[in-house]
Structure 1
Amino acid sequence: MTELWLMFSAAFLAATLLPGGSEFLLVALLNDNKSFWEALLIMATIGNTLGAITSYYLGYLGRFAISPEEMSKGKYKHGMDLIQRYGYWALLLAWVPIIGDLLCLFAGWMRLAFFPSVLMIFIGKLARYFAIVMLVWYW
């Protein structure tokens, strides 16, 4: 049970704007005991998705602090262009380190529909963790 809570916590924190990764912990826990891979997969995915929702909500609140003109220039331009071009489908890339956190933040800032956004975030993160589990399982 401690392993699952640890996995959830690490995945949650890794999905926020804080630095860190949960993949190494997942691999270590799987190498220790492969029999509960399903529970680890679920906890990692849910924790990481909830962390991304936190970033989405921070972006939603950030709209009060940063003007649209500021967001459409400079360092934010590429992420904003991705969200404007692909909408919530861009959130399938929410699992990508650094970029994914910003995509979630921008999605909230742009007030993309919440449930389709969460669904895309969940699918992307589930696919990433499932790929890691399969690599460990068959390696």
Structure 2
Amino acid sequence: MAALYGALFISAFLAATILPVSSEVVLAGLIVSGRGDPALLLAVATLGNTLGSVVNWILGRGIDSLRARRVFPVSPERYEQASRTFRRFGEWTLLFAWLPVVGDAFTVAAGAARVNLAVFVVLVAIGKAARYAVIVAGGLWAIA
């Protein structure tokens, strides 16, 4: 059973990075198949995805030296778009770090803007937990 939670954690962590991993599919599959405790699956997915976003925050802190590198997690266009939105709405954009396309860019922009790590983690975790809660609820509804 530990391997099950470990696999979910890894998929959620990697999904928050540049890698094309879908943790939502993994989580939904586990819920629908009745494998694992739904509350624990929610917690593991949220933790993994939030910690993956912390990696992006760290990359944002060193953006000046990393931006031109191939491994940088977002395209220059997405980063500029996210930076504009981040400057306009501030830290509250981190509640939407789960969004496709711009979510990763929000987390990088937060690092570049030197957002306090504790504030970053709380806001990102709230948004990501809410998204995963919807997936868990949908999966439980589907099997009810």
Q: Work out whether the TM-score is over 0.5.
A: yes
Equivalence map 1:79-94=2 (5 Å): 79-94=82-97
- Using structure 1 for the length normalisation, give the TM-score: 0.88
User: Offset of 1:14 from its aligned partner?
Assistant: 0.2
| SS across alignment from 1:122 | helix
1:134 aligns with 2:113: no
Overall identity of the aligned pairs, in % = 35
Distance 1:39 1:78, change over 3 A: same
Could you say if the C-alpha distance between residues 114 and 129 of structure 1 is closer, same or farther in structure 2, counting changes exceeding 3 Å?
same
Gaps of 5+ in 1: 67-72
Secondary structure of residue in 2 paired with 1:63: helix
What SS is found at the alignment partner of 1:23?
A: helix
Secondary structure of the residue that 1:132 maps to in structure 2? Answer: helix
Higher helix share goes to which structure? 1
Runs in 1 of length 4+ with deviation above 4 angstroms?
A: none
TM-superposed CA distance for 1:17, in Å, is 1.8
CA shift in 2, pair 1:113/1:63, >3 Å: farther
Question: Structure 1 62/131 Cα, relative in aligned 2: closer, same or farther at 3 Å?
Answer: same
Shift of 1:74: 5.4
Give CA-to-partner distance per residue, 1:37-76, whole Å, 9 cap, x none.
111101000000000000010111113455xxxxxx9553
Give 1:10's aligned residue.
11
Residues 93 and 121 in structure 1, CA contact (< 8 A), matched pair in contact too: yes
Tell me how far apart the structure 2 counterparts of residues 75 and 46 of structure 1 sit (CA, whole Å).
Answer: 25
2:120 counterpart residue number: 117
Unpaired segments ≥5 residues, structure 2 = 68-75
> Comparing 41-50 with 57-66, which one deviates more in the overlay?
57-66
Residues 30 and 36 of structure 2 are in contact (CA less than 8 Å); yes or no, is this contact kept in structure 1? no
